[in-house]
Amino acid sequence: MRGKLVLPVTLVVLLSMAGHASAELILHWTFDEGSGSTVIDRSGNGHDGTIEGDPQWVAGKLGGALDFGGDGDRVVDEDGGDYLNGLTAMTVAVWIKSDLVGTDKGFIQGEDPDGGDNVCTIRYDASGASFGGSSVMKMAVTADGEQQLESSAGIQTTEWQHVAMTWESGGLIRLYVDGVEDTPTGRNGPNGTGAQSGVMKFVVGQGAKDAGGGWDGLIDDVRIYDTALTDIELLGVMAGGGTEYPLAAGPSPEDGAQLEATWVTMGWRAGDFAVSHDVYLGDNFDDVNSGAEAAFQGNLTDTMLIVGFPGFAFPDGLVPGTTYYWRVDEVNDSEPNSPWTGDVWSFWIPPKKAYAPSVSDGAKFVATDVELSWTGGFNAKLHTVYFGDNLDEVSNATGGAAQAGTTFAPGTLESDKTYYWRVDEFDPPATHKGDIWSFTTIPGIPLHADPDLVAWWTFDEGQGSTAIDWSGHGNHVTLVGSEWTPAA
């Protein structure tokens, strides 16, 4: 009888290896001149820029850059409307490094600033006017109508940041920050067809609200393409090359993903020059990062690797509770830069034991009416909780009642007392004994001598999610979205 191996069918969706073959670089200001009052257009189209004000030539992200003083410094091509109007698709990409956050200052503008965000513009926005975000980025394009986008909140930074705005007729404006598409707080305007219009000139170093000033910080490597580039193409632009990107990208599973299985079909988008792929996989980051022989899974011509079945890599299956690291180096022996060393990606499989307790292990100042929760172990069907104030009893307990949910309410607890708890996970027929976790409740606090003091929060706890009311009235508060910091 002929044997056969039956595998689950998995569809792996991979990004196309092809980019936009028709993508044309319309303008490219590298700011590598180092002196003078003219910025040369390296695209070969002659769209040079004239420096106004006194920005300083400095070292940038990719070679040189200009440092704008926020006082009207800018670079202008007065003929920008000639090549920007009429476009039905566009990418504007730039490296920026701001000296400020919580600001309205801008860096790309399609006309002299007049306060209106509408004509090919990108700027920082302290408070999004339309969608309520703070410290956002705002951009706009006008075709047969005006379309605006306001980024996710808190996107402003004083670190180097690659910003790309893409748009095509009939579609939405999209923002990519450091190669990753941002999820905006909102968009408005039409999604209709039509060509870009209204551009009077192309300005770098000012935004819509910068009539009396402008960008305060560095700008480097400004590019305009006549196509809405993809995220992979933007990685090549970020690196200072063209839209070709030599590295493997688009990992599946995604970098850092949680995998709910002991097998996986790994896939990736091939680098634009790759003929084959050296794949490394293992549970040791250093081995994968250094390309150790123990992690090498072979040179492949396909952009996929099945793992965790007999006859494949890791034939005994992947191990729950383990983080796996992998890397794909792109190979083309006819290219002098080959191989191209890839980034190290990872995925992880949850442990079979309960994990991620809430409250966290060792927590202090926990409310006396706390509800405990945890994340169930890999493939767990039922959970048994053991709880008490005696470490040995909780550690050795057996025979508890199983439950389906992953929360537990121990009832009203005593103040200033340490409690222990354990969760055993049942994955028939096995039971996986849990770790011992502990926490300490809020101390008992006498009434303050001042009868008018009804609440007193010192924020000296330094940990946990509760700020204690030291007035003695029990007005403790739960902290949401905050972090403890040392005293100044």
- Rounded CA-CA distance 487/484 in Å is 9
Give me the pLDDT at residue 12, please.
34
Give me the pLDDT at residue 293, please.
96
- Rounded CA-CA distance 11/466 in Å is 46
3-state secondary structure of 287: helix
- The Cα-based distances of 454 to 99, 435, 466, 476, 479 in angstroms read 43, 40, 17, 11, 19
Residue 53 backbone class (left: φ over 0; alpha: ψ -120 to 50; beta: rest): left
Give me the pLDDT at residue 208, please.
85
3-state secondary structure of 205: coil
Structure tokens at 420: 């222990």
Q: What is the pTM of this model?
A: 0.73
Residues of the chain scoring pLDDT < 50: 1-22
Residue 190 contacts residue 61 (beta carbons within 8 Å): no
- The Cα-based distances of 148 to 81, 218, 407 in angstroms read 19, 25, 44
Residues 6+ apart with CB under 8 A from 38: 48, 49, 50, 51
- Rounded CA-CA distance 167/241 in Å is 21
Residue 141 contacts residue 175 (beta carbons within 8 Å): no
Give me the domains of the chain, ranges plus CATH numbers.
25-238 (2.60.120.200), 249-349 (2.60.40.10), 355-441 (2.60.40.10), 446-488 (no CATH)
**Degrees (nearest 5) of the Cα angle 443, 363, 392?**
90
Give me the pLDDT at residue 93, please.
97
Q: Which residues pair with 109 in a beta bridge?
A: 203
- Rounded CA-CA distance 122/333 in Å is 42
CB atoms within 10 A of CB 379: 16
- Rounded CA-CA distance 266/257 in Å is 12
Give me the pLDDT at residue 126, please.
92
Give me the pLDDT at residue 16, please.
32
Q: Report the sign of the C-alpha dihedral through residues 377, 429, 10, 348, in that order.
A: positive
- Rounded CA-CA distance 183/481 in Å is 20
Give me the pLDDT at residue 476, please.
85
- Rounded CA-CA distance 430/238 in Å is 50
Give me the pLDDT at residue 470, please.
85
| Strand stretches in 6-73, DSSP E | 25-29, 38-39, 49-52, 56-59, 64-69
Phi, psi of 413 (to 5 degrees): -100, 165
Give me the pLDDT at residue 129, please.
74
CA-wise closest residue to 468 among 460, 447, 476, 363: 476
Give me the pLDDT at residue 191, please.
67
Give me the pLDDT at residue 37, please.
96
End-to-end CA distance of the chain: 77
Cis peptide before 443 (omega within 30 of 0): no
